[in-house]
Amino acid sequence: MLRGLQSFGTAALTATCQAVIGDISTPQERKKYIGFFGAISQEMALIAWGTYTSL
């Protein structure tokens, strides 16, 4: 149940961030910013998961 709640929150946050990026950037800049956001979010997820599992 908690995993489903986590997935819902992650999907909502990702969609909201991409919508904000789409609103404030030009189509040429949008690709760069969404790619950057994706890379950062993946790294943060790995760090958070590693920290959580090492406790």
Using CA atoms in the order 12, 18, 22, 23, what is the torsion angle rounded to 10 degrees? Answer: 50
Tokens of 21: 């990026």
Task: Give me the domain span that covers residue 26.
Answer: 2-53
Count of domains observed in the chain? 1
pTM metric for this prediction: 0.58
State yes or no: pLDDT of 2 exceeds 80: no
Contact 37, 21 (CB under 8 A): yes
User: Which pLDDT score, from 0 to 100, does residue 5 have?
Assistant: 80
Three-state DSSP class for residue 24? helix
pLDDT, tens only, 15-51:
888 899 889 999 999 889 888 888 887 788 888 888 8
The helix (H) or strand (E) run that includes residue 29 is: helix 27-53
